[in-house]
Chains A and B, each alone.
Chain A
Amino acid sequence: MKLFIPNLLANDEAGFWFPSQGSTVAESVDSVYFFILYVCTFFFVLIVGLMVLFMIKYRHRPGVEAEKTVTHNLTLELSWSVIPTLLTIVMFWIGFTSYLDMRTPPASSYEISVVAKKWSWAFKYPNGWIESELHIPKGEDVTLTMASDDVIHSLWIPAFRTKMDVVPGRYTQEWFNATKAGTYPLMCAEYCGQKHSEMVTKVVVHETRGDFDKWLQVASDIHKNKTPVEAGEYFYKSRGCIQCHSLDGVPKNGPSFKELFGKERKFTDGTSTIADANYIRQSILEPQSKIVDGFRPIMPTFKGQLTDQDITAIIAFIKSQK
């Protein structure tokens, strides 16, 4: 029986219709929604109520013919054209004014740039640190400047009620001001291929700017705070290697990292080489230069996105996959 009772409370503050309100615009979006919902419910009940009433009252009875009534009435028809028109103007207006707020990034805000690619997000913080999760401080205006590496994606944070397409070949922007610390889902809403539905990550809202800065400092100091293998694992996960390279030996879009280091690799052009540090480095920076037999040349380059130190860590990580 449990299965058929919809889970109403996805988290404690979620309502029947919406997840909890996590940004400054959420409240106005919800109130526009509920205004429309009440108007619609009124008309729906009116329409279906009249329909059911007529169904019962005027159902066919033997010997009783339909009554001849007027076939048009200008006043009636004008009134049911004009009243809905006025209501839709109200809807348009409140939707339009809240929209302007949502789409006008405040002049000074914390800027994070976003690169979307199949099928992961990369959030780049002002100090150059890139992370696959979005971290932001509470109560501060944040603007995302977004670009796509391949196809159209769309960045949606349901709790913030905001969404914007990420279109290759141009920058788009999205801004918000989070009102509650916590963790919320962030997802891709524009169909982008095989793992579209796995292009989901989280937004972590830190209680204060201090907390956030501390997090950023620790995170970006990765080479100091972690062993090379740990750092390598971090890059493996945060830069999207994980999408195509498994650790369990089963090839995905690319070869698995399991027992890769030191093995002989055969390439589509017939040549072969031993997978050593130089080979791995080259595969990361110029992935199209050597394509392993049986795979398609689909890996993007990470040139400029990973430092030498980062790559060394990744090599250490791959080496550790026995």
Chain B
Amino acid sequence: MATIVDSSNPTSDFPIQYRELNYLNCSKGWKSWFFTLDHKRIGIMYLIGVTCAFFLGGIFAVLLRTELLSPSKVLMGPDAYNQMFTLHGAIMTFLVIIPGVPAAIGNIILPVMLGAKDVAFPRMNLGSFYLWMFGAAFFLAAMVLGGLDTGWTFYTPYSITTSTAVITALLGVFILGFSSIFTGLNFIVTIHTMRPPGMTWFKMPLFLWALYATALIQVLATPVLGITGLLLVVERAFHIGIFDPALGGDPVLFQHFFWFYSHPAVYVMILPAMGVISEVIAVHSRKHIFGYRFIAYSSIAIAIFGFLVWGHHMFVSGQSKMVAVIFSGITFSVSIPSAIKVFNWLTTMYKGSIRFTTAMCYGLAFIFIFSIGGLTGLFLATLATDIHLHDTYFVVAHFHYVMMGSSLVGLFAAIHHWWPKISGKMFNEFWGRIACLGVFLGFNLTFFPQFILGTRGMPRRYYTYLPEFQNLHIMSTMGAYLLGLSSALMAATLIYSVYRGKKAPANPWGGASLEWQCSSPPPHNNFDHPPLAGDPYVMESVVYNEEIGGFVPVECQGDNKESVTASGDKEV
């Protein structure tokens, strides 16, 4: 990795002696990465880890879908299938989506966006990365030590009785929980204490609001998951009788504990993605975000309401009618802040100057997919319809629209939006957009038919199914193949750019928040002096400069090139 910036790069405009020092090339060797305290390098390591996990989970997904091409056996038996969907779900949730935007992108971008040198606790930051690695190792260990076949939800008493490696996997979840909590704490303290002069709470970019709301959930909800996991380990190992009905325990209690974390956790997945979209839509439409305060408040509202609705996963679990009714009522309250955001993004585009960059294409895909994901949630929040739809493919479709379609497309948007900043290189927009189109089409082809499967009577986690469902399953599998290929194309495009891409200007898209003021990639310490923050969405403060191929602050326009680059390249 240390060789990302290649001094003999033919496209580099600068003679070697003027080559800027940045965080990627300022020190070399594996130690300078593995022991780094630089939030950007830690973020990159997260990004690599998350990408590997994503491809592993993705391979499982493709195998699962292949198996479902026919109601009878295609590739594997039922045991292998059950383990595979469990690991697919667990890896995608715990290793990809939860850390994806906050830990990987958040780590790289948050301090730069704040105009800060680093996060508040750089050592803790490195620690949380190693905890993530450690937790991931436990997951891999569980895979070899007998697999895991409980579903990512670990419902008791099945998880107490199965012979698979439940304890190993739960320890993995426990450790990953600490990683998540530490990242959250770090972000909260960083945002509270390290905002630069001029950046009041309401001058803070919306991505930071989203990360802040996310961090609150991480810190408050994750301990419950940790404790629940530990209780389950204890139950399995010592048979105490907490969740096991054979010993007088209560399996529904486990579900309450589990969803008390896991429902808020879905907001850990979606909130940061929403933050990304607020940035992407504003910057690439060259417009001030519309309704800044409503978006900021809605992030906090989602974080708060998110704690009150876990019971909607349990409408058919035998909980009382009264409880079900209350949870249904509160659940609708979460949909309002989400709706507000969608309307705000649309209004932001109004009278804009929209550039269909790859990042923007992912942003638009997000609005499309998130609308479907969010609206289909209404069917599940409504009691009468949820009774029919619970635990069917309708639910599988819904949560993939929200988790994979929205959170992951949000992550893709973030990667493309900040790629020039992160890598210092421009990627090929043509291939980027083709990949985006493929992801969009493949995604919808994979998951839309599943809504129909669900309403017609196809339960989830089924290895075999009634023959009348086959056609829809085949459509879905074809979509998955397209989706898989397109993600690979996306990865290839980005990796290629690292070696052959054009050098990125400090501000390629015309953003007005602070991270666009330092050079791309940023120097080791991001900024010499804390920059003065203003309104992060005044896009008129920067204008396009032909010569640089990027945007420069208005006051520099017309000056000589020296002072232009000086805005970012002071480190040289």
Contact = CB atoms under 8 A, between A and B. Distances in A.
Contact of B371 (A48, A68, A69): A48
Which of the listed residues B384, B386, B391, B466 has the most CB atoms from chain A within 10 Å of its own CB?
B384
Interface string B71-92: 0000000110010000000000
A158 interface: yes
B294 A88 contact: no
A165 B291 CA distance: 44
A284 interface: no
A194 B78 contact: yes
B340 A29 contact: no
B568 to A, nearest CB: 23
B346 A158 contact: no
A33 interface: yes
Interface string B313-333: 000111001001100110010
A172 interface: yes
Contacts of A172: 318
B36 to A, nearest CB: 39
Nearest to B249: A169
Contacts of A99: 321, 324-325, 328, 383-384, 387
A178 to B, nearest CB: 16
Interface of B is mostly: helix
Interface in A26-63: 28-29, 32-33, 36-37, 39-40, 43-44, 47-48, 50-51, 54-55, 58-61
Contact of B353 (A47, A64, A100): A64
A154 B252 CA distance: 13
A48 B328 contact: no
B392 interface: yes
A293 B222 CA distance: 45
B364 A55 contact: yes
B349 A29 contact: no
Interface in B283-338: 285-294, 316-318, 321, 324-325, 328-329, 332, 335-336
B531 interface: no
A150 B161 contact: yes
A225 B288 CA distance: 82
A161 B388 contact: yes
Contacts of B158: 151-152, 191-193
A197 interface: yes
Contacts of A200: 466
A99 to B, nearest CB: 4
A81 B349 CA distance: 19
B127 interface: no
Contacts of A94: 382, 384
A186 to B, nearest CB: 10
Contacts of A96: 325, 328-329, 383-384
B336 A84 contact: yes
A17 B431 CA distance: 37
B176 interface: no
B9 interface: no
B250 interface: yes
Nearest to B387: A163
Contacts of A164: 316, 318
Interface stretch (A72-80, A203-211, A302-310, A313-321): A72-80
B9 to A, nearest CB: 29
A91 interface: yes
Which bucket holds chain B's interface residue count? 35 or more
A16 to B, nearest CB: 7
Contacts of B12: none
B471 A162 contact: no
A193 B157 contact: no
Contact of A152 (B155, B290, B321, B350): B155
B472 interface: yes
Interface stretch (B270-278, B435-443, B453-461): B453-461
A197 B459 CA distance: 8
Interface string B338-349: 011011101101
A297 to B, nearest CB: 12
Which of the listed residues B347, B378, B382, B449 has the most CB atoms from chain A within 10 Å of its own CB?
B382
Contacts of A76: 347
A185 B251 contact: no
B130 interface: no
Given A14-B456, A58-B351, A99-B383, A169 B245 contact: yes
B465 interface: yes
Interface of A: 3-7, 10, 14, 16-19, 25, 28-29, 32-33, 36-37, 39-40, 43-44, 47-48, 50-51, 54-55, 58-61, 64-69, 71-73, 76-77, 80-81, 84-85, 88-89, 91-92, 94-96, 98-100, 102-104, 150-152, 154, 156, 158-159, 161-165, 167-170, 172, 185, 187-198, 200
Given A36-B382, A66-B285, 10 more contacts: A32-B385, A55-B364, A58-B285, A67-B352, A77-B344, A80-B340, A102-B384, A161-B387, A161-B388, A198-B464
Chain A to chain B: the 5 pairs with minimum beta-carbon distance, closest first: A169-B245, A95-B382, A158-B457, A99-B383, A197-B462
28 contacts: A4-B475, A6-B452, A6-B472, A14-B456, A25-B384, A29-B385, A40-B376, A40-B378, A43-B339, A43-B371, A44-B375, A47-B346, A54-B346, A58-B350, A60-B355, A66-B539, A68-B540, A69-B351, A71-B288, A72-B294, A92-B329, A95-B328, A95-B384, A95-B386, A162-B388, A169-B249, A187-B457, A196-B462
